[in-house]
Amino acid sequence: MRNVTSLLFLSASLLSGAEAYAEICAETPDGMYAANPKMFAEAWLPQIERLYTALPSISPREEQWLAAESNDPQRHLRAIRSSTYAIKEAKLDVGSLLGSLRVLSEHVKPAEAMSAVERWALFAYTLIDDDAALHLARLVTDNLVERSTIPERWILWAGPDFPLDDSIRAERTNLARHVLVCVIPQVDD
C-alpha cells in the first residue's frame, strides 16, 4: 500500500507541474533518459537484460525452504534476512522490469489488455519499489552479483558516504519520475 500511495503522490505532484520539468525531459545522447517511449525502452532493455542474466536463481529446494519458513514468525524473519530471499526478490523485481521493457519496446506482445499508459505506469511503479534496492545491494555485498552488472546510472552515487542501496533507490526513483513526467505524456494510446 505504501508504494501505491507513493506513486499517487509522486504522480500528482510531478504531473501538476510538468511544465517545470521541460528541462529534465531533454534527450540524453545514450537514450537512457529519452522522452520518446520506444527510444527509452530500447535504451534500457539491454541494461536490464544484462542484470537479469547476472542474477542467480534459487533452486526448487531453496524455494521450498522459503515457503516452509513462512509458517513461523521467527523462522520467517530469518528467511527474509537470507541471501536466498534476496535472490528471489531481486529476480522477481528485475524480471518484472524486463518483462515490461520487452512489451514497451514492442519485442513481445502484451499478454494483458492494458493501455500503453497503464503499462508505462506499471513500469514506473515497479521502479519505485523500495526493497528492490536493498536486495540488489545485498547480493553485491554477498558477492553473488557483480556490481558492474547493475546499470551504471543506478550506482552512480554509491560511495563511502552514500550506500549502494541508497544510490540504486535514488536513481530508480529518478527514472520513475522521468517516465511519469517525460515519457507518459508522449505515449499514444
User: What does DSSP assign to residue 28?
Assistant: P
How confident is the chain (189 residues) per 10-residue block, as mean pLDDT?
Answer: 47 51 67 85 94 96 88 85 93 94 80 83 91 94 95 91 93 92 85
Q: Which domain holds residue 46?
A: 2-186
pLDDT score for 21: 55
Please identify which residue in the block is written with the cell numbers 525452504. Answer: 65
| Number of separate domains in the chain | 1
d(CA 40, CA 144): 29
- Contact status, residue 146 vs residue 179, Cβ threshold 8 Å: no
pLDDT score for 3: 47
**CA dist list (Å): 39 to 34, 48, 187:** 6, 15, 12
pLDDT score for 79: 87
pTM, two decimal places: 0.82
Please identify which residue in the block is written with the cell numbers 552515487. Answer: 157
In Å, how far from its chain's centre is CA 10? 16
3-state helix, strand, coil in the chain (%, to 5): 70, 0, 30
d(CA 6, CA 4): 5
Collapse the DSSP code of 162 into the 3-class scheme (helix H, G, I; strand E, B; otherwise coil) and give the result.
strand
Query: What's the Rg (C-alpha) of the chain?
Result: 17
d(CA 56, CA 22): 39
d(CA 66, CA 92): 15
pLDDT score for 23: 64
